[in-house]
Amino acid sequence: MNQDLLTRYAQIAGEDAVEQLLQLASPLKGAHIVHVNSTRYGGGVAEILHSLIPLKQALGLDVTWEVITGEEEFFLVTKSMHNALQGFSTEIQSRALKTYEETNAQEAERLRPLLEEADFVFIHDPQPAPLIRFIPNRKGKWIWRCHIDLSRPQRSVWRYLRNLVTRYEASIFSMPDFTQPMPHLQYIIPPSIDPLTEKNKELSEKEVKKILSRYQLDPHKPIVLQVSRFDRFKDPLGVIRAARLARKFAPLQLVLAGGGAADDPEGEVVLREVEETAKGDPDIHILYLPPDAHHTINALQRGAHVVLQKSIKEGFGLTVTEAMWKGKPVIGGDVGGIKIQVVNHHTGFLVHTPEGAALAIRYLLFYKDKREEMGRKAHQFVKDNFLITRHLRDYLSLLLALKLGAHERIELETWTG
Ligand code: UDP
């Protein structure tokens, strides 16, 4: 058990939070837990697993993280599927579905010994969902963890995927809006951030300034920031429009920072569209970052006056919680997981249009006191709801519920110091 890591979490999240984790982990000792997703870098799922795995290990749990791989064609079909599940009208050919299934069949061969023996398997998102079909002799309980906004999926694609995921013992969604009629248990577990990582740890003002100047940002002009993959669902063009409208009333510089993800083949096309729209504008900075730019993103979020996440579909939007943790009010699209993070007019603003975002930017740049007050509330809201300790507590409770069935109760003792 890595006591040092647990002590560091306790210092931020409280002794009670860590004590609960220890109690919940205790009956799970000896069980082998496997997580499977489709990229080790880029995007929220990888970000969470990088923290969750060491924390589970620190609690003495036996946990493994596997990443499935495939050819470009596989990631093209899974990205189309992702788009369709988030409501975009897309047609997926049966040949593409064949590639999807065949890649999973190959990966199942590679992972068979591990997956057959594991006591609990978490399969993240649609990419590895068919693995379950190819492991008929599985011993453990399998959970499908859906991170995407499934509130209004394209029906034909969801019907196909539903046939796969109903084979699982349970599924997990980030919020109630995403659940679907299914014959098994569905749990609501929102994601979280890790306060100890490079991305989220405290930084000195000097360090923040150093990074801002490295990217030639004007130290005298307020920064409006959006961090995200270059993806149409994140509406980068809407963000540019909002910033251009807002700056008629208040000087600002816009920073669009992001990179790609190994399982997202569309990023470059969207990046080119963004560059074209921003061409020649000295107050729009497009920063194409490598996947390990955590320190830079941390500094940008801390250096920003206002943070945007103007998505038009969003499973959760870790970037929202990341910015809130750093005391920033967030202007977010009124969609998906952003709705459970941004409490309208308290921890930020929920908007529907670039015009709405522009008004909110103008307000927050004008009223420093309000901005700081909302930022403080935002930080507290994350501390209460979206830290990794809460996330893991929910996962462990779910594993215990699956292990014990309805026969036993889980009782946690209150930590008394
Ligand atoms: N991120 C990053 N580099 C980038 C863009 C994003 O490290 O260039 C991180 C971001 O800080 C966040 C995660 O990737 O932790 C994105 O998660 P989110 O839920 O916001 O969106 P997703 O990409 O999963 O749709």
- Give distance in angstroms: CA of 235 to centre of ligand 1: 14
The confidence score (pLDDT) of residue 153 equals: 97
For the CA of 294, the closest atom of ligand 1 is 7
- Give distance in angstroms: CA of 46 to centre of ligand 1: 9
Q: Give the confidence band of 411 by pLDDT, cuts at 50, 70, 90.
A: low
- Give distance in angstroms: CA of 411 to centre of ligand 1: 36
Do residue 337 and residue 247 come from a single domain? yes
- Give distance in angstroms: CA of 153 to centre of ligand 1: 22
The confidence score (pLDDT) of residue 410 equals: 64
The confidence score (pLDDT) of residue 42 equals: 86
- Give distance in angstroms: CA of 90 to centre of ligand 1: 24
Q: Give the confidence band of 183 by pLDDT, cuts at 50, 70, 90.
A: very high
Q: Is 43 in the pocket of ligand 1 (CB under 6 A)?
A: yes
Ligand 1: which of 149, 178, 227 to mutate, judged by most atoms within 8 Å of the beta carbon?
227
Q: Would you say residue 416 lies in a domain?
A: no
Q: Report the nearest-CA residue for atom 14 of ligand 1.
A: 43
The confidence score (pLDDT) of residue 405 equals: 82
Do residue 129 and residue 174 come from a single domain? yes
Do residue 43 and residue 112 come from a single domain? yes
Q: Is 47 in the pocket of ligand 1 (CB under 6 A)?
A: yes
For residue 129, give the nearest of 183, 178, 68 by alpha carbon: 68
The confidence score (pLDDT) of residue 382 equals: 98
Q: Would you say residue 414 lies in a domain?
A: no
Q: Would you say residue 303 lies in a domain?
A: yes
- Give distance in angstroms: CA of 44 to centre of ligand 1: 5
Do residue 17 and residue 82 come from a single domain? yes
Q: Where does residue 77 fall: left (phi above 0), alpha (psi -120 to 50 degrees), or beta otherwise?
A: alpha
The domain total for the chain is 2
Q: Would you say residue 170 lies in a domain?
A: yes
For the CA of 260, the closest atom of ligand 1 is 8
**pLDDT for residue 1 is more than 90:** no
Residue 376, strand partner residues: none
Do residue 321 and residue 336 come from a single domain? yes
For the segment 112-117, the average pLDDT, to the nearest whole number, is 98
Do residue 138 and residue 249 come from a single domain? no
For the segment 223-234, the average pLDDT, to the nearest whole number, is 96
For the segment 115-127, the average pLDDT, to the nearest whole number, is 98
Q: Tens digit of pLDDT for each residue in 321-376?
A: 999 999 999 999 999 999 999 999 999 999 999 999 999 999 999 999 999 999 99
**pLDDT for residue 299 is more than 80:** yes
Q: Is 258 in the pocket of ligand 1 (CB under 6 A)?
A: yes
Q: Is 325 in the pocket of ligand 1 (CB under 6 A)?
A: no
The confidence score (pLDDT) of residue 39 equals: 95
Which structural domain range is residue 126 located in?
2-192+387-404
Q: Output b/e per residue, 323-354; b: 16+ Cβ within 10 A.
A: bbbbbbbbbbbbbbbbbbbbeeeebbbbbeeb
* Residue 34 φ then ψ, to 5°: -120, 135
Q: Report the nearest-CA residue for atom 6 of ligand 1.
A: 228
The confidence score (pLDDT) of residue 194 equals: 98
Residue 287, strand partner residues: 257
Report which of residues 412 and 235 the model is more confident about.
235
The CATH number of whichever domain residue 274 belongs to comes to 3.40.50.2000
- Give distance in angstroms: CA of 48 to centre of ligand 1: 10
Do residue 68 and residue 151 come from a single domain? yes
The confidence score (pLDDT) of residue 414 equals: 61
How many other CB atoms are found less than 10 A from the CB of residue 99? Answer: 18
CA–CA gap between residue 308 and residue 348 (Å, rounded): 10
- Give distance in angstroms: CA of 262 to centre of ligand 1: 12
Do residue 55 and residue 21 come from a single domain? yes
For the CA of 43, the closest atom of ligand 1 is 23
Distances (CA, A) of 150 to 76, 302, 385: 19, 31, 22
Q: Would you say residue 28 lies in a domain?
A: yes
Q: Tens digit of pLDDT for each residue in 12-51?
A: 999 999 999 999 999 999 999 999 999 999 889 999 999 9
Residue by residue, what is the 3-state secondary structure of the chain?
CCHHHHHHHHHHHCHHHHHHHHHHHHHHCCCEEEEEECCCCCCHHHHHHHHHHHHHHHCCCEEEEEECCCCHHHHHHHHHHHHHHCCCCCCCCHHHHHHHHHHHHHHHHHHHHHHHHCCEEEEECCCCHHHHHHCCCCCCEEEEECCCCCCCCCHHHHHHHHHHHCCCCEEEECCHHHCCCCCCEEEECCCCECCCCCCCCCCCHHHHHHHHHHCCCCCCCCEEEEECCCCHHHCHHHHHHHHHHHCCCCCCEEEEEECCCCCCCCHHHHHHHHHHHHCCCCCEEEEECCCCCHHHHHHHHHHCCEEEECCCCCCCCHHHHHHHHCCCCEEEECCCCHHHHCCECCCEEEECCHHHHHHHHHHHHHCHHHHHHHHHHHHHHHHHHCEHHHHHHHHHHHHHHHHHCCCCCCCCCCCCC
Q: Is 329 in the pocket of ligand 1 (CB under 6 A)?
A: no
Q: Would you say residue 415 lies in a domain?
A: no
Of the chain, the end-to-end C-alpha distance in Å amounts to 20
Q: Tens digit of pLDDT for each residue in 44-98?
A: 999 999 999 999 999 999 999 999 999 999 999 999 999 999 999 999 999 999 9
Do residue 220 and residue 176 come from a single domain? no
**pLDDT for residue 417 is more than 60:** no
Q: Would you say residue 335 lies in a domain?
A: yes
The confidence score (pLDDT) of residue 395 equals: 98
Instruction: Report percent pLDDT > 70 for the chain.
Output: 97
Do residue 212 and residue 160 come from a single domain? no
Q: Would you say residue 341 lies in a domain?
A: yes
For the segment 364-389, the average pLDDT, to the nearest whole number, is 98
Q: Give the confidence band of 266 by pLDDT, cuts at 50, 70, 90.
A: confident
Q: Is 362 in the pocket of ligand 1 (CB under 6 A)?
A: no
Do residue 239 and residue 94 come from a single domain? no
- Give distance in angstroms: CA of 276 to centre of ligand 1: 23
Residue 64, strand partner residues: 34
How many other CB atoms are found less than 10 A from the CB of residue 174? Answer: 24
**pLDDT for residue 407 is more than 80:** no
Q: Report the nearest-CA residue for atom 10 of ligand 1.
A: 319
The confidence score (pLDDT) of residue 167 equals: 98
Do residue 227 and residue 262 come from a single domain? yes
